[in-house]
Structure 1
Amino acid sequence: MFLPIIHLTRLVGIARTLARHDALWPLEMVSRRAAPLRACVWCLRILFRRRRPGRPGERLAVALADLGPSFVKLGQALSVRADLVGDEVARDLEQLQDGLDPFPTDKAVETIEATLAMPLAEAFAEFDRNPVAAASIAQVHFATTADGREVAVKVLRPGIEDRLERDIGLFRFLARLAERAHPPVRRLRPVAVVDTFEEWIRVELDLRLEGAAAAELKEYCEGDEGFHVVDVDWERTGQRVLTTERIRGHNIDDVEALRAAGHDIEDILARSARIFFLQVFRDGYFHADMHPGNMFIDAEGRLCPVDFGIMGRVTRRQRLFMADTLVGFLGRDYRRVADAHFEIGYVPPTQSRELFTQALRAIGEPVLDKSLNEISVGRLLEQMFRTTERFDMPTQPDLLLLQKTMLVAEGVGRKLNPDVNMWLLARPLIEEWMIANRGPEARIVETVRDTMESLERLPRTLRKAEETLDRLAKAGMNPDGSLREPGGMRENVRFWGPVVVLAVLGAMTIGLFNN
């Protein structure tokens, strides 16, 4: 009963902060359909608004940073949703970094000792009390272990869990309120935005999960030349502390420093494109926060990612869809792109395939008419996702995260060499993957795999069916609810069970050879 009142009270404070930063425009947009809310926004403008320079998205980013860690993370999540906030605002929110003032080192030491259940001096021979990075969730210190290994120690902010829990509750309340107040908003799935946001936060609040994400990525990429994922020091890792190998190197976008260190910029760009392709298409598991501050080039010239709090996953079906979409757009085969959308179910079958193909052409031609180095696949996908309202397409949060990651990768690629398009470097790899996964041999393998999985489930399914029929027989009932003579049901099960098994096996065999 009191929770909505608490949320509404907090909203007043948030609205005042937005007004001070001249960033009330999101509330103005929402209030257009509600006269009482319009009146409230008008009052806020009169009482608290201060004129600030900059674009609306820039002012909103500053306001979110002032509101604290949860709102910084929310802004980062909204930067993926150009369909919600618009292209320009999404680009401004992309610049929203979660660098904040560090918290006292004594608090960090307390957290380390409590989490690891040992004194700091026992855990580390040397510990730098000056943090090297302070973000919204945690801060990082460099240290050295007793055996001489240089490590980076990530420590959660004190009390961050309670604060984020409270703010997530507020965000979910607002998302549900928006869906109830204006049903067309449901297609944009604001509650799903909050769910995605909460998923990110849950991982970042348990640093063991971040360590596990790093270990999983390392396992996938172990044999990839020129790519190195940090080792996790599990002995010095817990829920609130993560200790990993320290990386010494240069940020991937520091071109001058990279050249001065003797690195081949063209080779770095080519490997970046290849690694991104492998993570997305081969593994279906990718680093989804790959901004320049999270990617280093070490002395050996290896790409070394850090910060594994936000990782993305794409299913095999989604990978095939993305490959069809990329190859289709780059080859101006818009029908292929449209077919991919209908096959995976992203566009309802009630929509016109011809009109959707025409809409894709209208998106692709202006972009693809540019010189190759100016083509932005990320922006192309962004424009494509913005056609969702016209064709009644539900938003796909997983693909939006991938699209966001592609935009960041593109930006880094252009900084390394503005004359080279990294997607054209990756296109042969994508086409090769498509042949391996779309060809006749791949379909046979997939059919065999599906058949074997079905066979593995069959005994369990039949056993459950027999148990259900047995219970009905004991109750003296037929499956349709009518009464029957006791004992007959069990005899039917014994007779029809083998028949059903043979029929299913026969159908699978026919399907296998037809493929």
Structure 2
Amino acid sequence: MPDISNSVSDGQRAGVLAGLPRRRFLDVSAGDASLSQMRFISFKINRLRSVARLLSWLQLLFYFLSKIAIDILLRKDTPKRRALHLRRAFERNGGSFVKLGLHLSMRLDFMPWVYGSELSCMTDRWEPFPAAQAIETIERSLSKPLSALFIRFDPDPIASTSVACLYQAILQNGEKVIVKVRRPGIGEQFMSDIEAFDWLLSIAEFLTIFRPGFTQGMRSEFRDLLLEELDFVQEARRQDAFRRAAAQSRKNFFSAPRIYLDLTTEEVAINEFASGIWLWELLVAVEQGNADVLVRAREMNINPELVAKRLLWVNYWNWGENLFFHADPNPDNVIIGQDSTLHFINFTSTGTLSRTKRQAQRQNLDFAWERDPQNMARATLVMLEPLPPIDVIELIQELETYNWQLIYSLEASPHNVSWQERTSSVQWAGMMSLVRKYGITVDIQVLRFIRSTLLFESMGARLHAEIDFVKQYQNFKNYRAEQARRRVTDSMLDQMDGKGTEQTIIRLDRIAHAAEGLFFRASHMLSLPSVNFNTLMSKWSFAVYTLLRFIGQTAALTLIFAFLINIKFYFDEQQFMNVYDVFFQVATNPVYQIILFITIFVHGRTVLFRLDDKEV
């Protein structure tokens, strides 16, 4: 007998089971789209080329030392002449040597102020590479023929540096632009220079010319500096961010040329053409009375004194309000347009200050306005943190001495002091001399800030005979007050419109998170031991340890030489030497004596470095 229940159930399902419309998906797999990753620019290193570049470094060193030796013989040796010889040595080799010289000009914690001042005067100029190579780079990088990109392209570059050549061109839409093309092979050459520089400083540290580990940070900074110069994408993004931030500042007297991000790669960057006169042209015209440039400046309604005030305003906004500051605002990187408008270019070098250091610099300028050198010293001390074990009270007293010199210059008639004295250079120069005295390592961002600030102040002082950078900061504070008023007003209007409830909740949530973070840091600090046991090793214990290590190394060196001398004697005479003769031959061996002398020198210098440290 058939199963009636099953047949009924199948009949019911037949009326229910039916297809439904559905969206058709693209015929791709999940593996076709990879996760985005951070960009890193890198180049291959050629070891043979690195060795060749090391020889170039040694040649530079020989040139520098020979010039000093001649000056000593002629009794003309001075720190300024040594700085001049070092600058000329870098300029003779060009390329990355100039880049290193400019970097060292910021490392005022590493070398005296006179060296930094001289090296900062270097200019990066190189012979241009063939236009055919530039065109090939443009077409390969942008994946388009030159005719599809430009109506006109001038093959004669308007500027040529060790990194790139700059060309004028007109886009298909009729806009005049500047095309920046990276020099072919410069990345590989810079990497070889970096490696050779690492070898050179490693040898210097091994010979204790520098304290072991002292140059490690500088080598890393030099590598980052050169890679920054070669990455046009990052430079373009910073320039675009600066331009947008300048527009949001509600001030229309400064900006940066518009960058074409869709036409920018690691090797090519294209931005709009900024017309006007170079800042260096205006500086020379004001100081030397060049009539042609001054006439053109008047035709463009360019007022040098107004330019000076605007430069200082941009400086305060640069480090105080913006996300980052232009770290190399030299006169080659500023174009003055119609009505004294400032156009900033070349954003390869930028810097940032933490909120704490920004506030410290604001306090420094406020105390300078109040003529309070002691609190100026306390404020600038924050810029040097973290400090090694030193006498902080003594350091503040010495900083105060230099601050008094600055205050005297500010109180004097501007016509009775040089333009250099109307900047903060005496304060920063004094601080850097104390940095070297106390062995303080300064953050590279602070060094970039000091360089940027001094460039802005010096250009302002040269253009305006009576300008006071401290008074100009007080004027800038009016802008900050206006911005704060706008924020408060907007917040009150939001509250009146009923938009403040969500914002209030967000602020309370932020306060709760801040309190939680503060509690965590306090608990973490209390849970850590208050004593760093690594620092409890006394100086004399370190000296004894170094002595024992030296004895061990000397014993090993002696045994190696004894073995080699005995083996050589056996092959010559078919018998072994007695112990006394072996050690006599070792002791009188000139190679052994040289190596032993270097070992004694290195260990002795290492102990002296440790004995010079202050105890915690």
Q: TM-score, normalized by length of structure 2?
A: 0.63
Structure showing greater Rg: 2
Structure 1 residues 111 and 250: alpha-carbon distance in aligned structure 2, compared to 1, 3 A threshold: same
In structure 2, which of residues 426, 431, 452 is the aligned counterpart of residue 405 of structure 1? 452
Q: Which residue of 1 aligns with 2:513?
A: 452
Q: Aligned AA for 2:54?
A: L
In structure 1, which of residues 396, 403, 412 is the aligned counterpart of residue 443 of structure 2? 396
Superposition pairs of residues 238-257 of structure 1, within 5 angstroms = 238-253=265-280, 254=282, 255=286, 256=294, 257=296
The answer on whether the counterparts of 2:422 and 2:468 sit within 8 Å (CA) in structure 1 is yes
Return the alpha-carbon distance in structure 1 between the equivalents of residues 275 and 121 of structure 2: 25
Residue 157 (1) aligns with residue 183 (2): yes
The answer on whether the counterparts of 1:249 and 1:299 sit within 8 Å (CA) in structure 2 is yes
Q: Which residue of 2 aligns with 1:121?
A: 147
Residue 76 (1) aligns with residue 102 (2): yes
Structure 1 residues 429 and 84: alpha-carbon distance in aligned structure 2, compared to 1, 3 A threshold: same
Structure 1 residues 75 and 262: alpha-carbon distance in aligned structure 2, compared to 1, 3 A threshold: same
Q: Which residue of 2 aligns with 1:226?
A: 253
- What do residues 84-126 of structure 1 show as CA deviations (whole Å, max 9, x unaligned)? 2312221111111101111111111111011001111111110
Q: Which residue of 2 aligns with 1:321?
A: 360
User: Which secondary structure state, in structure 2, belongs to the residue aligned with residue 351 of structure 1?
Assistant: coil
Structure 1 residues 457 and 372: alpha-carbon distance in aligned structure 2, compared to 1, 3 A threshold: same
Residue 87 (1) aligns with residue 136 (2): no
Q: Aligned AA for 1:293?
A: D
- Higher mean C-alpha deviation, range 269-278 or range 82-91: 82-91
In structure 1, which of residues 227, 235, 240 is the aligned counterpart of residue 262 of structure 2? 235
In structure 1, which of residues 6, 11, 25 is the aligned counterpart of residue 54 of structure 2? 11
The answer on whether the counterparts of 1:332 and 1:364 sit within 8 Å (CA) in structure 2 is no
- Higher mean C-alpha deviation, range 388-397 or range 359-368: 388-397
The answer on whether the counterparts of 2:83 and 2:114 sit within 8 Å (CA) in structure 1 is yes
Question: Displacement, 1:201?
Answer: 1.9
In structure 2, which of residues 319, 323, 328 is the aligned counterpart of residue 289 of structure 1? 328
Q: Aligned AA for 1:287?
A: H
The answer on whether the counterparts of 1:68 and 1:136 sit within 8 Å (CA) in structure 2 is yes
Q: Which residue of 2 aligns with 1:416?
A: 463
Q: Which residue of 2 aligns with 1:106?
A: 132
User: Which secondary structure state, in structure 2, belongs to the residue aligned with residue 24 of structure 1?
Assistant: helix
In structure 1, which of residues 199, 208, 219 is the aligned counterpart of residue 233 of structure 2? 208
Q: Aligned AA for 1:356?
A: L
Structure 2 portions without partners, runs of 5+: 1-44, 287-293, 415-420, 489-505, 521-616
Return the alpha-carbon distance in structure 1 between the equivalents of residues 241 and 97 of structure 2: 29
User: Which secondary structure state, in structure 1, belongs to the residue aligned with residue 435 of structure 2?
Assistant: coil
User: Which secondary structure state, in structure 2, belongs to the residue aligned with residue 324 of structure 1?
Assistant: helix
Structure 1 residues 447 and 304: alpha-carbon distance in aligned structure 2, compared to 1, 3 A threshold: farther
Return the alpha-carbon distance in structure 2 between the equivalents of residues 349 and 77 of structure 1: 24
- What do residues 153-189 of structure 1 show as CA deviations (whole Å, max 9, x unaligned)? 00000100100011112223333444454396468x4
Structure 1 residues 375 and 446: alpha-carbon distance in aligned structure 2, compared to 1, 3 A threshold: farther
Return the alpha-carbon distance in structure 2 between the equivalents of residues 367 and 342 of structure 1: 16
- Higher mean C-alpha deviation, range 80-89 or range 226-235: 80-89
User: Which secondary structure state, in structure 2, belongs to the residue aligned with residue 242 of structure 1?
Assistant: strand
The answer on whether the counterparts of 1:382 and 1:403 sit within 8 Å (CA) in structure 2 is no
Return the alpha-carbon distance in structure 2 between the equivalents of residues 338 and 447 of structure 1: 36
Return the alpha-carbon distance in structure 2 between the equivalents of residues 87 and 192 of structure 1: 20
The answer on whether the counterparts of 1:132 and 1:140 sit within 8 Å (CA) in structure 2 is yes
Q: Which residue of 1 aligns with 2:65?
A: 24
Q: Which residue of 1 aligns with 2:8?
A: none
Return the alpha-carbon distance in structure 2 between the equivalents of residues 430 and 267 of structure 1: 18
Structure 1 residues 122 and 8: alpha-carbon distance in aligned structure 2, compared to 1, 3 A threshold: closer
The answer on whether the counterparts of 1:388 and 1:394 sit within 8 Å (CA) in structure 2 is yes
Structure 1 residues 455 and 266: alpha-carbon distance in aligned structure 2, compared to 1, 3 A threshold: same
The answer on whether the counterparts of 1:126 and 1:145 sit within 8 Å (CA) in structure 2 is yes
Structure 1 residues 60 and 299: alpha-carbon distance in aligned structure 2, compared to 1, 3 A threshold: same
User: Which secondary structure state, in structure 2, belongs to the residue aligned with residue 84 of structure 1?
Assistant: coil
Q: Aligned AA for 1:340?
A: A
The answer on whether the counterparts of 2:312 and 2:457 sit within 8 Å (CA) in structure 1 is no
- What do residues 274-306 of structure 1 show as CA deviations (whole Å, max 9, x unaligned)? 111111001241111111111011124311011
Question: Displacement, 1:64?
Answer: 1.2
Q: Aligned AA for 2:127?
A: D
- What do residues 461-494 of structure 1 show as CA deviations (whole Å, max 9, x unaligned)? xxxxxxxxxxxxxxxxxxxxxxxxxxxxxxxxxx
Q: Aligned AA for 2:423?
A: S
Q: Which residue of 1 aligns with 2:534?
A: none
Q: Which residue of 1 aligns with 2:570?
A: none
Return the alpha-carbon distance in structure 2 between the equivalents of residues 309 and 367 of structure 1: 32
Return the alpha-carbon distance in structure 2 between the equivalents of residues 66 and 122 of structure 1: 40
Question: Displacement, 1:25?
Answer: 7.1
Superposition pairs of residues 131-142 of structure 1, within 5 angstroms = 131-142=157-168
- What do residues 34-62 of structure 1 show as CA deviations (whole Å, max 9, x unaligned)? xxxxxxx99xx99xxxx9xx922222222
Percent identical: 22
- What do residues 340-365 of structure 1 show as CA deviations (whole Å, max 9, x unaligned)? 35667726485334312210122122
Structure 1 residues 365 and 334: alpha-carbon distance in aligned structure 2, compared to 1, 3 A threshold: closer
Residue 192 (1) aligns with residue 217 (2): yes
The answer on whether the counterparts of 2:399 and 2:430 sit within 8 Å (CA) in structure 1 is no
Q: Which residue of 1 aligns with 2:431?
A: 384
The answer on whether the counterparts of 2:137 and 2:267 sit within 8 Å (CA) in structure 1 is yes
Return the alpha-carbon distance in structure 2 between the equivalents of residues 148 and 308 of structure 1: 26
User: Which secondary structure state, in structure 2, belongs to the residue aligned with residue 336 of structure 1?
Assistant: helix
Return the alpha-carbon distance in structure 2 between the equivalents of residues 372 and 447 of structure 1: 52
CA RMSD of aligned residues (A): 3.6
Q: Aligned AA for 1:109?
A: I
Return the alpha-carbon distance in structure 1 between the equivalents of residues 252 and 212 of structure 2: 45
User: Which secondary structure state, in structure 2, belongs to the residue aligned with residue 85 of structure 1?
Assistant: coil
Residue 426 (1) aligns with residue 461 (2): no
Return the alpha-carbon distance in structure 2 between the equivalents of residues 77 and 447 of structure 1: 45
Return the alpha-carbon distance in structure 2 between the equivalents of residues 286 and 446 of structure 1: 29
- What do residues 398-424 of structure 1 show as CA deviations (whole Å, max 9, x unaligned)? 111111111211221122113213343
Residue 335 (1) aligns with residue 374 (2): yes
- What do residues 347-403 of structure 1 show as CA deviations (whole Å, max 9, x unaligned)? 648533431221012212233322264332134213212212444422221111111
User: Which secondary structure state, in structure 1, belongs to the residue aligned with residue 178 of structure 2?
Assistant: strand
Equivalenced residues, count: 428
- Higher mean C-alpha deviation, range 316-325 or range 385-394: 385-394
User: Which secondary structure state, in structure 1, belongs to the residue aligned with residue 169 of structure 2?
Assistant: strand
Structure 1 residues 428 and 357: alpha-carbon distance in aligned structure 2, compared to 1, 3 A threshold: farther
Question: Displacement, 1:136?
Answer: 1.1
Q: TM-score, normalized by length of structure 1?
A: 0.74
Superposition pairs of residues 159-174 of structure 1, within 5 angstroms = 159-174=185-200
Q: Aligned AA for 1:102?
A: P
The answer on whether the counterparts of 2:384 and 2:440 sit within 8 Å (CA) in structure 1 is no
Return the alpha-carbon distance in structure 1 between the equivalents of residues 386 and 377 of structure 2: 9
Return the alpha-carbon distance in structure 1 between the equivalents of residues 49 and 334 of structure 2: 41
Return the alpha-carbon distance in structure 1 between the equivalents of residues 167 and 509 of structure 2: 51
Structure 1 portions without partners, runs of 5+: 29-40, 460-515
Q: Which residue of 1 aligns with 2:391?
A: 352
Question: Displacement, 1:23?
Answer: 1.7
The answer on whether the counterparts of 2:94 and 2:124 sit within 8 Å (CA) in structure 1 is no
